[in-house]
Chain A
Amino acid sequence: MNVTIVDYNSGNISSVINSFKEVAKNKVNIKVTSDLEKIKSSDKVVLPGQGSFKSCVDALNNINGLVDTLNEFATNNKKPLLGICVGLQMFAEVGYEEIETKGLGWISGRVSKIDNQDGKFKLPHIGWNQINIVKDSQIFKGVKNNSHMYFVHSYELVPNDKSVVSATTDYSSNIVCSVEKENIFGTQFHPEKSDKTGLKIIDNFINL
């Protein structure tokens, strides 16, 4: 099996690569590329993302044909795709970080700044927070409810259809931190930095 981590100059992806290689051992082939043909022939795709919504969308668009290839992979061929952090946020139709920016539109909704209640809560939301699993998602197999995950973000995905939400976390408000829509999975937290429980989620995705 081939799992491709999309390398589209979205910032630091070495931790994502390290964690997938750790879990995959030699059973699964982990590729890191932006080569369209290699993405098309993959069994699964991981879409990481660091920095701002706009910088990540711009970086995707900078690689000719990448967005079309991802659309074909995820929406036409319905193969499993995992978005991490801004990778998940880009599923939305629109994001409001820096400037209004169009997303991939796979999940109806928007990405907006976390309401920190006039400074009562610090932003970014950095650190370990517990997740409330609200939907029986395949990537949470063997993961206990209220497990701790590592977060670092200032913006949140606000989906219109709440049925896609698989987990939330409590900060200044109840924040969507994981989604599952058919073959499309996403986590706002960083499984690659969430110790053994995070690696379990990666393992679940690889074994889908």
Chain B
Amino acid sequence: MLKNRIIPCLDVKNGRVVKGINFVDLKDAGDPVEQAKIYSDGGADEICFLDITASNENRDTIYDVVDKTSKKCFVPLTVGGGVRNVEDINKLLNCGADKVSINTAAVQNVKVVEDSSRKFGSQCIVVAIDAKRKNNGWEVFTHGGRNPTGINALEFASKMEKCGAGELLITSMDKDGTQSGYDIELMQKISSSVNIPVIASGGVGTLDHLVDGIKSGASAVLAASIFHYGTYSVKEAKQYLSSKDIPVRI
């Protein structure tokens, strides 16, 4: 039976983990490689890096991080943030990323999704959609949630599936950072309207939120702060899900 995935996400800036805190076994809280290794040893089903490096001069720092992580972690590694074109995707894959997530570039130019999925296979192309409630639906935002696009998130999700995305990473901007749980209605609507797996993101504060995320129809749940700040370990999260009869890999 296929298991539901738990994906811890690390925000990386200039090659360092943002706001790293010191876990007991950690020598350097800011080192993304060490953090990722702790997650994979703890049973993370995948690792996700979100590169939030703002300046172009420091963009290359992520390649080094990916290269080092992929030599130590033998679970799938997804990398996103600032991916502009097919060449960026190629570089990340060559450094050892298994999947690349595309956000703003997918909205600006669908050919990036079409060309990269044809060239590298759908299995490594994740389209990340940042969605915010508007009237009776959700609107797609780009540039880390700063720019509204006027595009309907449900329609965009279906379009990305047709363009060759292998998975969709859906983040609710209303919920992100609130620790009040995923936008369940958004996850339900998108999961039921596409045939590719959906990863739920944005708003996790408790382990019950992870349970709700899976029940909404998402194939995987992504969380950053609950793992990052040590509120729960990946292992605790998996044991909790299992106790709620949600199939996970233990």
Contact = CB atoms under 8 A, between A and B. Distances in A.
A137 interface: no
A51 B96 CA distance: 16
A11 B121 contact: yes
Given A18-B96, A119-B195, A126-B166, A11 B120 contact: yes
A123 interface: yes
Given A52-B121, A127-B197, A195-B40, A15 B70 contact: yes
Interface stretch (B16-24, B71-79, B227-235): B71-79
Interface stretch (B1-9, B170-178, B203-211): B1-9
B122 interface: yes
Given A11-B119, A18-B70, A195-B75, 6 more contacts: A15-B74, A18-B71, A18-B74, A122-B195, A123-B196, A128-B249
A117 to B, nearest CB: 11
How many chain A residues sit at the interface, stated as a range, is 35 or more
Contact of B3 (A21, A127, A192): A127
Interface of A: 11-12, 14-15, 18-19, 21-22, 50-52, 55, 116, 119, 122-130, 148, 150-154, 170-171, 192-196, 198-199
B5 A127 contact: yes
A125 B196 CA distance: 9
Nearest to B220: A127
Q: Is the interface of A mostly helix, strand, loop or mixed?
A: mixed
Contact of B94 (A14, A122, A130, A196): A14
A198 B74 contact: yes
Contacts of A170: 1
B120 A129 contact: no
Contacts of A128: 2-3, 5, 45, 249
A14 B74 contact: no
A14 B97 CA distance: 8
Given A11-B120, A128-B45, A123 B195 contact: yes
The 6 closest A-B pairs by CB, nearest first: A51-B121, A12-B93, A128-B249, A152-B123, A148-B249, A14-B96
Q: Which of B2, B40, B219, B249 has the most CB of A within 10 A?
A: B2
A116 B97 CA distance: 28
A12 B70 contact: no
A14 B122 CA distance: 17
18 contacts: A12-B94, A18-B70, A18-B96, A22-B71, A50-B121, A50-B123, A52-B121, A119-B195, A122-B197, A123-B196, A124-B196, A125-B2, A126-B166, A126-B219, A192-B74, A193-B74, A195-B74, A196-B74
A51 B2 contact: no
Nearest to A153: B123
Nearest to A171: B2
Nearest to B124: A12
Contacts of B220: 127
Contact of A126 (B93, B97, B197, B249): B197
Contacts of B94: 12, 14
A194 B122 contact: no
A69 to B, nearest CB: 25
Q: Which of B4, B76, B124 has the most CB of A within 10 A?
A: B76
Contacts of A151: 2
A171 B2 CA distance: 7
A126 B124 CA distance: 11
Nearest to A118: B195
Contacts of B74: 15, 18-19, 22, 192-196, 198-199
A124 B71 contact: no
A151 B76 CA distance: 10
Contact of A129 (B1, B40, B122): B1
Contacts of A127: 2-5, 45, 197, 219-220
